Amino acid sequence: MTIVLIALLLFVPVASARTKECVILLHGLARTENSMNKLARALDAAGYHTVNQPYESTQHRIADLAAAAIPEALARCPRHAKVHFVTHSLGGILVRQHLRVDTIEDLGRVVMLGPPNKGSEVVDKLHRVPGFKLINGPAGMQLGTGVLSVPNNLGPAKFELGIIAGTRSINLMLSNLLPNPDDGKVSVASTKLEGMADHITLPVTHSFMMRNQKVIEQVLYFLENGFFEDTGSQ
């Protein structure tokens, strides 16, 4: 009996230590969770509990999207698990919005892919074009660079943040509206955020960076180490 009791007591902390860490994925504007599937599979293979969270990115304003999507995603994580985020584009702004008004117990690391942390000049110049709001929704209209820009009013990062910016574009028309270098939707300069732990650039496009193998490898490296394998200039 004594041996059994000791074995049970020894087992408890081991079981707790093996609780999976949770990674919440948040896709970008006018995309679906399917765009993050390759990244989700890589995280699953690395042993994380992965939550690929859908949300209606073109239907609501940023505050409403964050208030709906993030608590739902957190509820899908194991209890008492450390929670990380990996986001694409608008998804990163949702995390910043949520953390401005609420805290997350056991928050781990955050990796943002192509985030418009200072907004995008594309929105500044095209928001009055017919059809822009229809395609990009209320949240898209909030991603400019001016004083009313939501990203510009969310403050610095007070969490462990790594950012990957792209430097290639498949949309030369939009790139002409942006400071170089850019990824076709967001300039490299706009991705940066005060308080970030690390920032790198890779030769990838905004639309497909989350499927790029080198990006995925860097995401996994940051989640494990808190910095990227090849550190770019900040």
Tell me if 13 is assigned to some domain: no
Q: Print the SS3 string covering 72-92.
A: HHHHCCCCCCCEEEEEECHHH
| Secondary structure of residue 23 in the 3-state scheme | strand
Tell me if 88 is assigned to some domain: yes
- CA–CA distances in Å: residue 134 to residues 28, 52, 59, 126, 138: 16, 25, 9, 12, 9
Tell me if 52 is assigned to some domain: yes
Tell me if 104 is assigned to some domain: yes
Tell me if 143 is assigned to some domain: yes
pLDDT in tens, the chain (234 residues): 444 444 444 444 433 333 589 999 999 999 999 999 999 999 999 999 999 999 999 999 999 999 999 999 999 999 999 999 999 999 999 999 999 999 998 999 999 999 999 999 889 888 788 888 888 999 999 999 988 899 999 999 999 999 999 999 988 788 887 888 999 999 999 999 999 999 999 999 999 999 999 999 999 999 999 999 975 444
Domains in the chain, number: 1
Which CATH number belongs to the domain containing residue 60 in this structure?
Answer: 3.40.50.1820
Amino acid present at 176: N
Q: Which domain holds residue 161?
A: 20-225
The answer for residues whose C-beta is within 8 angstroms of residue 44's C-beta and 6 or more apart is: 50
Tell me if 34 is assigned to some domain: yes
pTM over 0.85: yes
Tell me if 45 is assigned to some domain: yes
Tell me if 3 is assigned to some domain: no
